Structure 1
Amino acid sequence: MVMSSESSVTGVASLPPSVQSVGEAHTARPRVTELRLSAFAGHRRAALALGAFTLFAGPSGCGKTTALRAYEALARLGGGAGVGEVFADPVACVPERARPDAQRRRGFRIGCTADGPEGPVRLDVAVQAEPELRIVGERLSTAGVVLLETALRDPSRPYVQAAWHTAGQSPVTRAPLPDDRLGTALLPLRVAGKTDGQRRVLAAAEQMVVALRSVFACDPRPDRMRTPAPIGSGRLLGGCDNLADVLWRTRAECGRRHAQFVAAVGAGCAGAVTDVVAEVLGGGTVRGVLDRGDGVRTDLGRLGDGELRYLALSLVLLTGPGVLEVDSVGEVPAAMQTLTVLADGLDRGLDPVQRGELVRLAARMCERGHIRVVGAVSDVAGVLGTAGPERAGAGAGAGAGAAGVAEVDGVTVVHLEP
């Protein structure tokens, strides 16, 4: 499971300049532009292109949900979470046909590319799942130059050997790093930033970390949204269980956004909708209600599953990191961050009108640059309202999870095969 490399950390090479475009502030925001599932569950050699609004499409069993989980895992590792917290069932991530080596070791490999001011920066991670869970290899690189590389040298010790650019009196710094954390996320704590090489390494690592964090994995659960929610932090959970509590907050904090939300709900839910409010009940709980006008109100608990999912997803698209339960980068200005929404089953339970309205809303919000959406859908033609885009050249290579990419009205459609 030690990662191989055609190049190694030997000194400072010429690195690409910033790609920030004057007049387009959102281009300076670090963002993940490719997800790589080199060997992860049912995926092998899969390279999935990501745009501002991306849909993973394909039949059941093709790995759409798995791809979203891999993205979320990288995001959590980038936020500093331990590998044990991120992979509760690591053996399930190992490809079924993966054979153990002489030491009975099996594992998986995932990675991504983050674009931003430092140009495209690649991160590749090798994780050992058996006989014990640990990160055994990591590589951070740009323009073919490896900036950080780690490898497991002694399986009996709980750390990996790391090497990164210095470009001072010594061209390379070597030191042990823990095998349960992502080295890229630890670099800002280990690198002084005194030399040009160190500053370049730090800039690349920070770009990757900022691009990966501020991820909200969302899959609304209508069964949990029907009961009154306790009044709490007002930060929406991934299952949207506490939707009513968040409505109580958002309605008071931003009238303009709330008006947009009400308009979206009215466009996708049956009957007239003049407002969406939260009513305080006894016992410190609150429930959501649709105001129909003329004194008529409908408890959200009476709505259908599709209406509730549509309502929750619309609210997610119209809010931000301050309202959603996400790990935002507090030390980085909000103007330099991008919220990424991972929406599994984006079209689940929605009728054609709701699908169309939700896609239009997502596209409109993604155009502004502060939000990106990666969703999994079962019927891409139904979601986009087309006969279905033709599959472009496969960019993933052979094997399960191979992908073809197409652009349809600004939406990046990634087709996966079982």
Structure 2
Amino acid sequence: MNANTATRTAAHTPLTGADIVRPTVTELRLSAFRAHRGAVFPLGPLTLFAGASGSGKSSALQAYEALARLGAGEELESVFPDPAACVPEWAEADRQGRRGFRIGCTVDGPAAPVQLDLAVQAEPELRVVGERLTSGGRTLLATALRDPGRSSVQAAWHTAGAVAVTRAPLPDDRLGTALLPLRVAGKTEGQLQVLAAAEQVVVALRSVFACDPQPHRMREPVAAGEGRLRRGCDNLAEVLHRTRSECATRHARLAAAARVGCAGAVEDLAVEELGDGTVRALLGRGGVRGATPVGRLGEGELRFLALALVLLTGPGVLAMDQAAEVPSAYQALTVLADGFDRCLDPRQTRQLVSLGAEMAARGHVRLVGAVADASYVRGVEGVTVVDLVP
């Protein structure tokens, strides 16, 4: 996907640096990743990638999620189980038979905009071959593969002390930026700048929840537990069991959303405890109809309920590992939803987008999704649509 073939329409006023307090990813760069080449995508509080199959919507979200997982400290092998698939088809191997891909992002926050760019070798073996962390035109971290025979890269980070930079090896299977807090002493002004930039990037990337509701796994009763919603939302009833008692206001909002997104009359969203210790969610119908177990709902209705729950809840209800050492007030939850409109009708899609825009405007959540058709949401205040063309 070439950046020149993408058009961007926005129905919101872009945030300025002074408006942003929490670290947030405001730009995704796919220099060479799958079908993308030289692509730069600005990200607003609610961004939807739209386009036909093969236009690169899913690839953009996959790159974002990969950066998030690397920022959380995961190894390359777990983040990229099929690295060759990430290499653009047009990328030719060099004399040593090496091919790879390049991705990056910009993170705004208290430390001013910080750019992270990563070069990954996919063939003949998976490894980081270059990483750069910059801010204000200054390189804060740069790594390079100097000796292919060693499982490390040579790193140099800004010091501004007795020496201009500090050099040391870093593992070639992890994101160096995520390792800096363990390596940089923080004694000089330069080291403090490096630590602030690295923390800003890591906090933004770790504040990501990738959500892909699986209706076929949401129909059966589930065991009551800690009530943290998993990626596939298969434990929807368990989470509703928790949120119903913990936050009556947001539970009422979810029930109100269900009235719009589910067929028939909906008076309440309840949870029933069964004799075997499991719980199941119910739609309260009122009158003689009683209640309908959510397991009887259609796939679109189940996906709608799951996505509405994600947008209305916070990180404490989602199965994600945020930066525990950073106060939650300084972290912004970002939801990644590939196939955001899958199985949904236009009414359901527009309702979810309106809900997401409302929560984003309040600063509770950011949303980056992929949709096949954005015609139903164009003009919704607070929504950025990125149109992709194969």
TM-score, scaled relative to structure 1: 0.87
Query: What's the CA shift string for 1:73-111, capped at 9, x where partnerless?
Result: 000100111111111111111111211111111111100
Q: CA deviation at 1:353?
A: 1.8
Which of 183, 194, 202 aligns to 2:187? It is: 194
Secondary structure in structure 1 of the residue aligned to 2:225: coil
**Aligned counterpart, 1:252:** 245
**Aligned counterpart, 1:127:** 120
User: How far apart, CA to CA, are the structure 1 residues paired with 2:163 and 2:336?
Assistant: 42
Which of 367, 370, 384 aligns to 1:373? It is: 367
Q: Is the contact made by 2:334 and 2:367 (CA closer than 8 Å) also made in structure 1?
A: yes
Query: What's the CA shift string for 1:293-318, capped at 9, x where partnerless?
Result: 23600010111111111111100000
Q: Is the contact made by 1:229 and 1:286 (CA closer than 8 Å) also made in structure 2?
A: yes
Q: Is the contact made by 1:306 and 1:349 (CA closer than 8 Å) also made in structure 2?
A: yes
Q: Is the contact made by 1:37 and 1:47 (CA closer than 8 Å) also made in structure 2?
A: yes
Alignment of 1:411 with 2:383, yes or no, is: yes
User: How far apart, CA to CA, are the structure 2 residues paired with 1:322 and 1:179?
Assistant: 33
**Aligned counterpart, 1:313:** 307
- The alignment-based identity, stated in percent, is 67
User: How far apart, CA to CA, are the structure 2 residues paired with 1:416 and 1:327?
Assistant: 31
User: How far apart, CA to CA, are the structure 2 residues paired with 1:176 and 1:232?
Assistant: 43
**Aligned counterpart, 2:210:** 217
Tell me which amino acid in the other structure corresponds to 1:230.
A
Q: Is the contact made by 2:69 and 2:206 (CA closer than 8 Å) also made in structure 1?
A: yes
**Aligned counterpart, 1:349:** 343
Q: Is the contact made by 2:47 and 2:384 (CA closer than 8 Å) also made in structure 1?
A: yes
Greater mean deviation of Cα atoms: 143-152 or 226-235: 226-235
Q: Is the contact made by 1:347 and 1:383 (CA closer than 8 Å) also made in structure 2?
A: no
User: How far apart, CA to CA, are the structure 2 residues paired with 1:228 and 1:65?
Assistant: 31
Q: CA deviation at 1:268?
A: 1.6
**Aligned counterpart, 1:392:** none
Matches within 5 A, 1:397-408: none
**Aligned counterpart, 1:231:** 224
Alignment of 1:322 with 2:316, yes or no, is: yes
User: How far apart, CA to CA, are the structure 1 residues paired with 2:362 and 2:53?
Assistant: 32
Q: CA deviation at 1:213?
A: 1.0
Q: Is the contact made by 2:111 and 2:197 (CA closer than 8 Å) also made in structure 1?
A: yes
**Aligned counterpart, 1:57:** 50
User: How far apart, CA to CA, are the structure 1 residues paired with 2:17 and 2:38?
Assistant: 30
Which aligned runs of 4 or more in structure 1 are off by greater than 3 angstroms?
none
**Aligned counterpart, 2:107:** 114
Which of 372, 377, 383 aligns to 2:377? It is: 383
User: How far apart, CA to CA, are the structure 2 residues paired with 1:323 and 1:87?
Assistant: 27
**Aligned counterpart, 1:333:** 327
Q: Is the contact made by 1:77 and 1:86 (CA closer than 8 Å) also made in structure 2?
A: yes
Q: Is the contact made by 2:361 and 2:382 (CA closer than 8 Å) also made in structure 1?
A: no
Alignment of 1:71 with 2:64, yes or no, is: yes
Tell me which amino acid in the other structure corresponds to 2:241.
W
Q: CA deviation at 1:20?
A: 6.3
Matches within 5 A, 1:136-175: 136-175=129-168
TM-score, scaled relative to structure 2: 0.93
**Aligned counterpart, 1:397:** none
Greater mean deviation of Cα atoms: 297-306 or 286-295: 286-295
Tell me which amino acid in the other structure corresponds to 1:329.
A
Secondary structure in structure 1 of the residue aligned to 2:305: helix
Matches within 5 A, 1:35-46: 35-46=28-39
**Aligned counterpart, 1:389:** none
User: How far apart, CA to CA, are the structure 1 residues paired with 2:326 and 2:70?
Assistant: 18
Which of 255, 264, 286 aligns to 1:293? It is: 286
Q: CA deviation at 1:409?
A: 2.7
User: How far apart, CA to CA, are the structure 2 residues paired with 1:286 and 1:129?
Assistant: 45
Residue correspondences, number? 374
Q: CA deviation at 1:284?
A: 3.3
Secondary structure in structure 1 of the residue aligned to 2:160: coil
Tell me which amino acid in the other structure corresponds to 1:46.
A
Q: In angstroms, what is the RMSD of aligned CA positions?
A: 1.3
Q: CA deviation at 1:47?
A: 0.6
User: How far apart, CA to CA, are the structure 2 residues paired with 1:314 and 1:67?
Assistant: 23
Tell me which amino acid in the other structure corresponds to 1:324.
L
User: How far apart, CA to CA, are the structure 2 residues paired with 1:62 and 1:282?
Assistant: 49
Tell me which amino acid in the other structure corresponds to 2:21.
A
Structure 1: unaligned runs, 5 residues or longer: 1-18, 387-407
Alignment of 1:176 with 2:148, yes or no, is: no
Q: CA deviation at 1:143?
A: 2.0
Q: CA deviation at 1:370?
A: 2.7
Structure 2: unaligned runs, 5 residues or longer: 1-15
